[in-house]
């Protein structure tokens, strides 16, 4: 066999792409449920809303650890301890990615238990009960509502008689059932419906009937039970209470309230209850028969969720993407838990290129509904994520854009409140586009701060438009009435602007004053990104194009069909895309991801790695600083991967200590070592840094390895012993 002398490429170690991600905050998030261990109140499991996973505390909520990292984007809508064996825990996933998971060791390991839940609707699990006196008979409710964006209708009730290994329909199929509960010794099981009242069964789902004392058209949002006490939220129809296991109910007020979440706090000497409303947390006492507001700055005009209690301790989350709140004195005083889980939902991201420790993230805090005041929409860190501070306007933060011509000027879109501008980094700010509006994107001319383009939805009139300002946002004019998801200045000429619309890729050659179709007429475009000699544009079905002039090349990778590509960056010769699956559980693929290509899109690798949340949801939430990659996620805060975008420095020279042949190779690759390279370790990496083969303590001068299992491509190898460390590459062509 003819041997070929390989010109060794000495590569910096940064060539080996990192796929280890670290969540750097901000702490907090939306937590739909808190489950407290039946016999040890120091153990709590927090179930986060969309994509944030399950988090466990063993110190009364002071610190938390993610326990579902093996299931990215898990939604913990409901968490249930088996009271007969608290090591058995169930968690329900309304968003249908997994359906239902179970742990038999207190949350250390988990398994998916959705056999028999055959459709996506079946897997929209909202609650679970363990039938009284059993370990293995379970019933689950599914679905939240028939409409919505996206709809989550569910498919009634399912039952398992083997601890969740298999499931079968158990009534109310075709009905949305947002909640389920058991009344303990009474033996009955209650299920709440959307618009069809409270259902009850006394034979484990064989038959169902409406409870006659609950309105037959009620939307049942939540059911709580504690032995003989049964509490039902009928939404705007009020709260209903039973003290005889649910045989009889009495309305106890709270009509015309939202009553999103409820809690049975105390049974003796008086019954005390909590309900969350749009005006704040309310508390009921049977001693007076009245509801009173829990007056606290963290609760007034905030919508609480996930309320849970044990003794005098109460835990809850707020619909503000903030920290968990805890009271240790029956709800009189509340303190935020600083080390709350890192499960925040990010709408926009800015990282200071000159000081990467300075990061601004816009938080998806509070929608403009029901008069909720919410919390500040910006979270800022100046120490790389060690600590974060909330600031800026109150609301539901979306796109965050830096004016590159100014040190501290930013634009921020707020859901339902329009556009805000700051010139001092959000110490002060003003609303420059007032109204019930959603700002989908903002761009500022990189050479002229006075020129600002925005993409807007006016909710009040259901109209979309691109608008332009020539005075720094003081006034705007409509230049195109079209649904536009992303705006982008040409990287060479700011007079040229691209618009990703639902009817194709549009272009303006006069700074956004007028527009014409450029490419893909009639096709929905999800985003657009411009670089020196080319631009990138993906369709909403996940097909990605690289465009040069008016010619385009399909560079779609191996991601699922209908992936929504939201973010694209190119840095140090690497092309990276972010995919979103959040809020897409009944329409598109469920799992987001981050993909990277080192050859302009010819080949792709999923580099999501150990990210617990991979939903790249927001605008400009994929950022590259030096060799590091940052991602703002929908449910996992900001994640950072160090060294992923490292550049490559090549020095070609002949190394007489090693021969590699044939190169290119097909099936067998041989390494021939000289004396000083014996007793070596050989490691082979693919171009994204994954180890694909490893051989230790090589004492022969020659080693041949089978490479038939490796696909075509360029591979990196390292040879190490106590004297030398050589790096090189070879090519496989089959």
The string of pLDDT tens digits covering residues 97-136 is 999 999 999 999 999 999 999 999 999 999 999 998 788 9
Average pLDDT over residues 277-283: 95
Fold (CATH) for 7-17+650-732: Immunoglobulin-like (2.60.40)
pLDDT exceeds cutoff 70 at 395: yes
DSSP reduced 3-state for 112: strand
Judge if 94-107+115-336 and 342-641 fold alike in CATH terms.
Answer: yes
Structural contact between residues 613 and 633, judged by C-beta atoms closer than 8 angstroms: yes
Domain boundaries, the chain: 7-17+650-732, 94-107+115-336, 342-641
pLDDT exceeds cutoff 60 at 82: yes
Whole-number Å distance between alpha carbons of 182 and 94: 20
Task: Take residue 662 and report the two structure tokens written for it.
Answer: 């044939």
Q: Which CATH number fits domain 94-107+115-336: 1.10.287.70, 2.60.320.10, 3.10.105.10, 2.130.10.10?
A: 2.130.10.10
Alpha helices by DSSP H, 219-315: none
Average pLDDT over residues 464-490: 98
Backbone conformation region of residue 502, classed left if phi is above 0, alpha if psi is from -120 to 50, else beta:
alpha
pLDDT exceeds cutoff 70 at 16: no
DSSP reduced 3-state for 129: strand
pLDDT exceeds cutoff 80 at 10: no
Nearest to 143 by CA among 128, 118, 121: 121
Q: Which CATH number fits domain 342-641: 2.130.10.10, 2.60.40.2550, 3.40.640.10, 3.30.70.20?
A: 2.130.10.10
The reply to whether omega before 150 is within 30° of 0 (cis) is yes
Lowest mean pLDDT among 230-239, 343-352, 686-695: 686-695
Q: What is the pLDDT of residues 150-160, one digit of tens each?
A: 999 999 999 99
Q: What is the pLDDT of residues 222-277, one digit of tens each?
A: 999 998 999 999 999 999 999 999 999 999 999 999 999 999 999 999 999 999 99
pLDDT exceeds cutoff 50 at 644: yes
**DSSP E strands, 172-270:** 179-182, 189-192, 198-201, 209-210, 222-226, 229-233, 239-242, 250-251, 262-266
Write the DSSP assignment of 547-589 as a string of letters: EETTEEEE---SSPTT-EEEEEEEETTEEEEEEE-TT-TTTS-
Task: Take residue 664 and report the two structure tokens written for it.
Answer: 């290119």
Whole-number Å distance between alpha carbons of 378 and 389: 8
Nearest to 621 by CA among 344, 403, 321, 346: 346
pLDDT exceeds cutoff 50 at 650: no
Average pLDDT over residues 27-48: 97
What is the chain's mean pLDDT, rounded? 91
Q: What is the pLDDT of residue 656?
A: 61
Q: What is the pLDDT of residue 714?
A: 82
pLDDT exceeds cutoff 90 at 288: yes
Q: What is the pLDDT of residue 510?
A: 98
Confidence category of residue 3, pLDDT binned at 50, 70, 90 = very low
Backbone phi and psi for residue 466, each to the nearest 5 degrees, phi listed first: -95, 130
Task: Take residue 27 and report the two structure tokens written for it.
Answer: 């702490």
Q: What is the pLDDT of residue 586?
A: 85
Give the Cβ contact number of residue 98 at 10 Å. Answer: 22
């Amino acid at each position: 066999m003819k041997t070929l002398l390989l010109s060794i490429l000495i590569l910096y170690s940064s060539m080996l792409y990192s796929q280890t991600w670290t969540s750097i905050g901000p702490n907090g998030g939306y937590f739909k449920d808190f489950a407290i261990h039946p016999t040890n109140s120091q153990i709590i499991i927090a179930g986060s809303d969309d994509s944030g996973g399950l988090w466990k505390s063993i110190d009364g909520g002071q610190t938390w650890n993610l326990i579902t990292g093996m299931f990215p984007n898990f939604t913990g809508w409901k968490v249930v301890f088996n009271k007969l064996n608290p090591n058995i825990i169930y968690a329900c996933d309304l968003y249908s990615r997994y359906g239902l998971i179970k742990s038999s060791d207190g949350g250390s390991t988990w398994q998916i238990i959705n056999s028999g839940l055959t459709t996506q609707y079946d897997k929209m699990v909202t609650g679970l009960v363990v039938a009284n006196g059993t370990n293995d008979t379970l019933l689950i409710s599914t679905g939240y509502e028939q409409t919505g964006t996206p709809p989550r209708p569910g498919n009634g009730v399912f039952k398992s008689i083997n601890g969740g290994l298999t499931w079968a329909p158990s009534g109310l199929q075709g009905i949305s059932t947002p909640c389920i509960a058991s009344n303990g010794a009474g033996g009955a099981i209650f299920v709440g419906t959307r618009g069809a009242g409270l259902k009850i069964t006394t034979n484990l789902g064989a038959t169902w009937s409406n409870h006659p004392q609950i309105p037959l058209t009620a939307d049942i949002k939540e059911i709580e039970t504690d032995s003989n006490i049964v509490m039902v939220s009928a939404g705007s129809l009020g709260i209903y209470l039973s003290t005889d296991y649910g045989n009889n109910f009495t309305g106890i007020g709270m009509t015309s309230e939202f009553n999103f979440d409820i809690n049975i706090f105390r049974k003796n000497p008086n019954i005390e209850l909590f309900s969350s409303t749009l005006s704040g947390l309310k508390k009921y006492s049977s001693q007076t028969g009245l509801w009173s507001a829990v007056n606290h700055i963290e609760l007034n005009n905030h919508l609480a969720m996930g309320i849970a209690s044990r003794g005098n301790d109460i835990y809850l989350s707020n619909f503000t993407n903030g920290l968990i709140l805890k009271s240790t004195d029956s709800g009189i005083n509340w303190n935020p838990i600083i080390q709350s889980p890192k499960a925040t939902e990010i709408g926009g991201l800015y990282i200071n290129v000159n000081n990467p420790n300075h990061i601004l993230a816009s938080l998806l805090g509070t929608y403009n509904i029901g008069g909720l005041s919410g919390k500040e929409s910006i979270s800022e860190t100046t120490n790389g994520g060690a600590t974060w501070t909330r600031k800026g306007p109150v609301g539901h933060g979306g796109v965050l854009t830096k004016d590159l011509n100014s040190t501290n000027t930013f634009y921020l879109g707020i859901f339902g409140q329009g556009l805000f501008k700051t010139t001092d980094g959000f110490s002060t700010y003003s609303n420059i586009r007032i109204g019930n509006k959603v700002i989908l994107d903002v761009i500022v001319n990189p050479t002229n701060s006075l020129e600002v383009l925005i993409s807007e939805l006016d909710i009040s009139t259901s109209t979309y438009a691109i608008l332009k300002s020539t005075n720094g946002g003081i006034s705007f004019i409509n230049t195109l009435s079209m649904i536009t998801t992303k705006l982008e200045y040409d990287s060479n000429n700011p007079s040229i602007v691209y618009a990703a619309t639902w009817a194709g890729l549009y272009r303006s050659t006069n700074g956004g004053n007028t527009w014409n179709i450029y490419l893909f007429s009639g096709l929905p475009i999800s985003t657009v990104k411009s670089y020196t000699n080319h631009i990138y544009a993906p369709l909403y079905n996940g097909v990605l194009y690289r465009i040069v002039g008016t010619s385009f090349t399909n560079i779609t990778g191996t991601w699922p069909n209908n992936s929504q590509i939201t973010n694209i960056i190119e840095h140090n010769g690497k092309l990276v895309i972010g995919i979103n699956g959040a809020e897409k559980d009944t329409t598109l693929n469920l799992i987001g991801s981050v993909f990277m290509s080192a050859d302009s899109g010819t080949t792709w690798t999923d580099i999501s790695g150990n990210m617990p949340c991979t939903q790249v949801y927001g605008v400009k939430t994929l950022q590259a600083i030096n060799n590091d990659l940052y991602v703002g996620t929908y449910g996992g805060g900001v994640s950072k991967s160090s060294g992923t975008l490292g550049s490559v420095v090549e020095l070609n020279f002949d190394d007489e200590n090693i021969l590699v042949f044939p190169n290119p190779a097909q099936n067998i690759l041989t390494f021939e070592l000289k004396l000083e390279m014996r007793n070596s370790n050989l490691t082979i990496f693919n171009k994204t840094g994954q180890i694909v083969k490893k051989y230790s303590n090589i004492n022969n001068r020659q080693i041949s390895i089978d490479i038939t299992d490796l696909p075509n491509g360029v591979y990196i190898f390292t040879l190490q012993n106590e004297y030398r460390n050589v790096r090189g590459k070879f090519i496989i062509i089959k």
